[in-house]
Amino acid sequence: MTITAPARPTVFQGLPKVFWLLFSGQLVNRFGGVVLPFLVSYLTGRGYAAAQIAAVVSAYGLGGLGGQPLGGYLADRFGRRATLIGGLVATATCVILIAAAGDLPWLMTAALTMGLAGDVYRPAASALVAETTPPHLRPKAFGLMHWAVNVGTAAAGAIAGLLLAHGFWLLVILDVTTSLAFAVIVAVGVPRGHDTASAHPARHGYAIAARDRVLTAALVFLLIGLILYAQAAYALPLALAADGLPATLYGLLVTVNGAIVVIFQPLLVSWLSHLPRLPVLGLSMTVVALGLALTGVASQPWHYVATVVLWSMGEIGMAGFEAALIADLTPEGAHGTYQALYGWTTAIARFAGPAVGAVLFQAGMLWWACAATGILCAVFAFTLMPAVARREQAMASPT
């Protein structure tokens, strides 16, 4: 008798329908995310001074700091589906307001509101992924969501320049249409049961999360790794300029990074998803640190390409496992709040990363600091493992 081994699931198998609806919506939404990247160019063309443009961009960033916490609260209080739809519709409205704003105060108000509304849907989407995906597939699911962002952003960059040549309003129409399309996908495809709020809303929320020591330690760990990764965007151009290399090389390196993520992430995340979260995260952060540290000895274009390849592989390992780690620590009904805190951690890293990098770069210590941070992340991951294991065991035990 011949025994046929069961076929191994492919990269895109095993995930629930709700995930694929969110994946599709994320891909469509990121394809249309073209207004913000070209906002500075648009405002420059309208004759605004650099200080005025900086005020508008700062207003957007300020609003963004509140978007994730608000979205997490709304997702746990009023339901994931309703928060997703409401956040996406609000985002589309704010895009129109920015394009229609006639003076600086209105522009700043619209940008502040857009920053706030633009992140409201994210914790709800992450909460849905965490709740509908089996725990062992969460890294794969979150990794593919990260992949959708990269694919959609790459496609958006390819078409946005062509549309902008014919008018900024074409970008507005594309952005609004794709946000509303994501909202329609959720409204039609996601069951209404996901409008249900947490069964015990008083037990959860940010006050409870703030007293969760394991969560706090995990967020600090992720914050360190995300500040490290932020140097790829901030410090890499400084290194190129210091070596007298053209700015166009940075564009090439960004393309190399995007290509590696798009080509290899689905395969590697699918394979890595069978491994424990913290060892993968610790190793991935160490690989990112090594790639960035080697930037300090790079001097030729091919040197820089090699370092980008290295830290890009680390980025793939980080993507998906960060949100999955937080999901593993989350009590029932609080995924919106906990994912919002993770999202807020990424926002803090985007703000703190350039400041930390600037100080260390001026002191000539940045690349050594990257190497030391990689070691710190590996040790931190190892130290966290017992506490995370105890939490997972406690959550798996019947109450």
Tens digit of each residue's pLDDT, the chain (399 residues):
344 444 445 666 778 999 999 999 999 998 888 887 788 778 888 888 888 888 888 888 888 888 899 999 999 888 899 999 999 999 999 999 988 887 889 999 999 999 899 889 999 999 999 999 998 899 999 999 999 988 888 888 778 777 877 888 888 999 999 999 999 999 998 887 765 555 555 456 788 888 899 999 999 999 999 999 989 888 888 888 888 888 788 888 888 888 899 899 888 888 888 889 999 999 999 999 999 999 989 888 899 999 999 999 999 999 889 999 999 999 887 889 999 999 999 888 888 888 888 889 888 899 999 999 999 999 999 999 999 989 888 777 655
Query: What pLDDT is attached to residue 345?
Result: 92
Query: What pLDDT is attached to residue 222?
Result: 96
Query: What pLDDT is attached to residue 354?
Result: 84
Which region holds residue 187: left if phi is over 0, alpha if psi is between -120 and 50, else beta?
alpha
Query: What pLDDT is attached to residue 153?
Result: 81
Query: What pLDDT is attached to residue 166?
Result: 81
Query: What pLDDT is attached to residue 197?
Result: 55
> How many other C-beta atoms are found inside a 10 Å radius of the C-beta of residue 67?
25
User: 138 Cβ partners below 8 Å, 6+ apart?
Assistant: 129, 130, 273, 320, 323, 324, 327, 328
Residues 17 and 202: their CA atoms lie apart, in Å, by: 30
- Report the first-to-last Cα separation within the chain, whole angstroms: 47
Query: What pLDDT is attached to residue 203?
Result: 52
What is this structure's pTM? Answer: 0.86
Query: What pLDDT is attached to residue 59?
Result: 86
Query: What pLDDT is attached to residue 194?
Result: 61
Query: What pLDDT is attached to residue 4?
Result: 42
